[in-house]
Amino acid sequence: MITNFKRLLGQSNSCDTCSQHIESGGAELSQQHYLITVAGNPNTGKSTLFNGLTGLKQHVGNWPGKTVMRAEGGFRYGTENYKIVDLPGTYSLLAGSVEEEIARDFILFEDPDAVIVVMDATAVERNLNLTLQILEITDHVVVALNLMDEARRKGITIDHKGLSKELGVPVIPTVARTGEGIGYLMQAVSDLVEGRIQTNPRRIQLDHVLEEMVNELVYEIKKSFPHLKNSRWIALRLLDGDSSIYKAFETGEIEDLFKKVHPYDLKSTAENPA
């Protein structure tokens, strides 16, 4: 059964001034919208959050050429329409699995307006690996520090403001199962996509020699593939010997990746299995 945040937050469709207003399914996918996504380790509550925001209005299909399910939906928050894509859960983005490749390609090539990174508040350290990797690719990030009820139950307290300062992006404590904190989460997403806040993501500091090598590579990448965004991240992956990125360059597929994430087979369904 899907938990609909609109109901949980006591919101009604007739309220059109309330800043906490989430209207599930309110945004038709063809309308002008912000593209956002939920990423994170498996079992952190991504689908619960996705379901709560979109309600029953979802489309599911497979990612192109993959047997991994893709779910997307629409909703309205405040005056903005959002299209949201539920990414498969991964521990890393270094493309060791199909799921990782899908999540990485989506964040890298679809360039979503915001990535909600859902972290498990009971296992922050483990979850930081993926979070830091995502911060290397994009600065459009808001962290949902989810499962806060579980953390409280286990006596874990987290300095979420301190974590936010360290990561350089908003960190909002949430309980996706009950809707707690989701209004604040969406307010942070809205502030980010509307340009009311700027993030300053924590990134790896390279030594002088490496930095020069990266800059050289970035220059070459931009020369050959001027449309490629995130060329710095791609340069880092090349230096790290990422075979999938290497191969994509050899075959010229790196440019096709832009198109690859788009055309998928969609069919409407009532519910997205979590």
> Which amino acid, 95?
A
Site for Mg ion in 18-57 (CB under 5 A): 46-47
Stretch that binds ligand GDP, among 39-47, 63-71, 103-111, 136-144 (CB under 6 A): 39-47
Query: Residue 36: which of ligand GDP, Mg ion, none does it interact with, CB under 5 to 8 A by kind?
Result: none
The candidate with the shortest Cα–Cα distance to 72, out of 60, 90, 62, is 60
Residues 169 and 143 sit within 8 Å (Cβ to Cβ): yes
> What percent of the chain is helix, strand and coil (3-state, nearest 5)?
40, 20, 40
> Which amino acid, 85?
V
Q: Does 91 bind ligand GDP (CB under 6 A)?
A: no
Residue 46 or 70: the one with the smaller Cβ distance to Mg ion is 46
Residue 231 or 272: the one with the smaller Cβ distance to Mg ion is 272
The phi and psi torsions of 170 (rounded to 5 degrees) equal -60, 140
Query: Residue 110: which of Mg ion, ligand GDP, none does it interact with, CB under 5 to 8 A by kind?
Result: none
Stretch that binds ligand GDP, among 41-49, 161-169, 208-216, 234-242 (CB under 6 A): 41-49
Handedness of CA 78, 44, 241, 166 (dihedral sign): positive
Q: Which helix (H) or strand (E) holds 187?
A: helix 182-193
Residue 123 CA, chain-centre distance (Å), reads: 19
Which token pair is 148?
A: 């806060």
Stretch that binds ligand GDP, among 61-69, 172-180, 228-236, 263-271 (CB under 6 A): 172-180
Label the pairing between strands 265-269 and 114-120.
unpaired
Q: How far apart (Å, rounded) are the C-alpha atoms in residues 92 and 6? A: 32
Q: Closest approach of Cβ 43 to ligand GDP, in Å?
A: 4
Q: Does 134 bind ligand GDP (CB under 6 A)?
A: no
Query: Residue 146: which of ligand GDP, Mg ion, none does it interact with, CB under 5 to 8 A by kind?
Result: ligand GDP
Q: Which of 7, 57, 152, 177 binds ligand GDP (CB under 6 A)?
A: 177
Q: Does 274 bind ligand GDP (CB under 6 A)?
A: yes
Q: What is the DSSP letter of 22?
A: E
List interacting residues with ligand GDP (CB under 6 A): 40, 42-48, 89, 146-147, 149-150, 175-177, 274
Positions in the binding site for Mg ion (CB under 5 A): 46-47
